Structure 1
Amino acid sequence: MLSGTELALAGLAAAAAGMVNALAGGGTLISFPALVALGVPEVVANITNTVALCPGYLGGALAQKKDLAGQRKRLLMLIPAGIIGGLVGGILLLYISAQVFHILVPFLILLAAALLAVQDRVRDWIRRHTGHDGTEGRGCRNAALPVGLAAVYGGYFGPGLSVINLAVLGLFLDDTLTRLNALKQCISLATNVAAAVFFLFSGLVIWPLAIIMAAGALIGGAIGGHVAGRIDPGRLRWTIVAIGTVVGLYYLIRLFM
């Protein structure tokens, strides 16, 4: 049982994650290690974190609603792929040995940090290869399988999913970055909600923790939206990359000690 102080610290970590997600992405690299540091088992921490941060994804999707105009067919085709992949990832998390997840954690964190580090390059690549009128595009069906595979990763762990989705959409769809980003937000939301709904019945969600963290993530997201113009997202992103790298290396060293 976590103490009041520990619950408060988890709420602050979730608030920081919500703010970072609103500004640069990669907030889970703060909240997940924070839960583990508080003594929450890694699988339980991952599940509780996924459930707790869902409201933040919803807020991000609603904020970009206007950029989804004309993308109904894409949503109908790609969101099911995100849902199915999220469920598969959630199933893998629950039914693969916790020891396997323990071994994978440092590599997953380092992968997430690396994805966050190349986010700008991914966006630059997309800008060079897109910028057209937002028609449905013939690549939508081709994008379904890669989106589904990315969703499996998202349901299993989560950090870095948005970067993977944006890269996949930029590769297969011919559209502006803004509209692809809105589409990515909805797919990521669907993936995380699918995994979270599955986790609701796992008996592994620490509900007091999840509720406090959900409130913290909402507050942090709101703060991030208000200060977005005052903080350099690039510097913040590299700060989170550095934190993720240090945390990942710490877990990696601990794994072999």
Structure 2
Amino acid sequence: MSWLEVSAILLAGVWAGTINTVVGSGTLVTFPTLLFFGYPPVSANISNSLGLVAGGLSGTWGYRREIRPLRALLVRLAPASLLGAIIGALLLLVLPESAFEAIVPALIVLALVLVVFGPRLNAWAAQHHATEITGSRFVILIVGILFSGMYGGYFGAAQGVLLIGLMSVLLPNGLQEINGAKNVLGLIVNFTAAMVFLVVDPSQVNWVIVGLIAIGAFIGGLLGARIGRSMPPWLLRLTIVVIGVVAIVVLLV
């Protein structure tokens, strides 16, 4: 492995960790980088998922103040993320990559629509006395978290956009708190999927790649938390939309 390759993967990890903490879609940086250097797609995806766990840890720590009011809710949502991640990781090991390609761009478009119109939908819900999470809204939230976890365990690109879009509509919380919750749920998905990969097919793991991405992503997670928490809601929302659109273009091209 040349110094150019080491530097490129390390920097990709930093950038991915930063993007994942602010919005999501960091996989769209690291995964193509690994493919560029000739690593097999499945091995690259698995090694990437393992490495990005470090960024999830540092990003979650950076958002700990915003996460604190949502701890009880996150305890209730975590099992759905965990189960979804297990299913998605197993699907990655048994299904062709083309299986999800058709629906992923549509999911991201839906998520962006929810992010953009989330404030209006929340205002409408408040007028109808829906400032608290009702039974039906919680069921929809759980199902959405489950499917987001499945997608995250399978591939993960733009998982954060999906989570933010979903929770922007269904939760009566501010965007920064929702972003903190997204970091927690994304961390659960990445860690769970990584454990599944280690147990089921450890031969696919490239530990050098894991280490480089982990170092970069950990630094990026700290940077992302500092950047994301300083953004006003409108700028954070705009950033989410821009990165989501880029993700759609990358996945379709």
TM-score normalised over the length of structure 1: 0.77
Q: Deviations over 1:96-149 (max 9, x none)?
A: 2xxx21x35765775576467657515444553567997564333442222112
Query: CA separation of 1:108/1:209 partners in 2, compared to 1, >3 Å: closer, same or farther?
Result: farther
Residues 1:31 and 2:30 are matched in the alignment: yes
Deviates more, 1:177-186 or 1:75-84: 177-186
Q: Which runs of 5+ in 1 are unaligned?
A: 251-257
Distance across 1 between alignment mates of 2:163 and 2:104: 17
Report the counterpart of residue 217 of structure 2 in structure 1.
Answer: 217
Q: 2:218 corresponds to which letter in structure 1?
A: L
Q: Matches of residues 187-206 of structure 1 in structure 2 within 5 Å?
A: 187-201=185-199, 202-203=201-202, 204-206=204-206
User: 1:154 touches 1:191 (CA, 8 Å); kept in 2?
Assistant: yes
Q: Matches of residues 62-81 of structure 1 in structure 2 within 5 Å?
A: 62-81=61-80
Distance across 1 between alignment mates of 2:65 and 2:37: 40
User: 2:82 touches 2:189 (CA, 8 Å); kept in 1?
Assistant: yes
User: 1:75 touches 1:183 (CA, 8 Å); kept in 2?
Assistant: yes
Report the counterpart of residue 251 of structure 2 in structure 1.
Answer: 248
Q: Which runs of 5+ in 2 are unaligned?
A: none
Report the counterpart of residue 158 of structure 2 in structure 1.
Answer: 160
Distance across 2 between alignment mates of 1:141 and 1:106: 27
Distance across 2 between alignment mates of 1:94 and 1:36: 18
Distance across 2 between alignment mates of 1:109 and 1:141: 22
SS at match of 2:177: helix
Residues 1:128 and 2:123 are matched in the alignment: yes
TM-score normalised over the length of structure 2: 0.78
Q: Deviations over 1:181-229 (max 9, x none)?
A: 3323222221111111111232211100110111011223334455566
Distance across 2 between alignment mates of 1:239 and 1:62: 25
What RMSD over aligned residues (CA atoms) do the two structures have, in Å?
Answer: 3.4
SS at match of 1:53: helix
User: 2:23 touches 2:161 (CA, 8 Å); kept in 1?
Assistant: no
SS at match of 2:90: helix
Deviates more, 1:37-46 or 1:62-71: 62-71
Query: CA separation of 1:223/1:73 partners in 2, compared to 1, >3 Å: closer, same or farther?
Result: closer
Query: CA separation of 1:84/1:74 partners in 2, compared to 1, >3 Å: closer, same or farther?
Result: same
Q: 1:81 corresponds to which letter in structure 2?
A: A
User: 2:64 touches 2:180 (CA, 8 Å); kept in 1?
Assistant: yes
User: 2:10 touches 2:216 (CA, 8 Å); kept in 1?
Assistant: yes
Task: Give how far 1:235 is off.
Answer: 7.6
Report the counterpart of residue 13 of structure 1 in structure 2.
Answer: 12
Q: What is the number of residues matched between the two proteins?
A: 245
Distance across 2 between alignment mates of 1:69 and 1:133: 22
Q: 1:217 corresponds to which letter in structure 2?
A: A
Distance across 1 between alignment mates of 2:175 and 2:26: 21
Task: Give how far 1:66 is off.
Answer: 2.5
Query: CA separation of 1:110/1:148 partners in 2, compared to 1, >3 Å: closer, same or farther?
Result: closer
User: 1:79 touches 1:190 (CA, 8 Å); kept in 2?
Assistant: yes
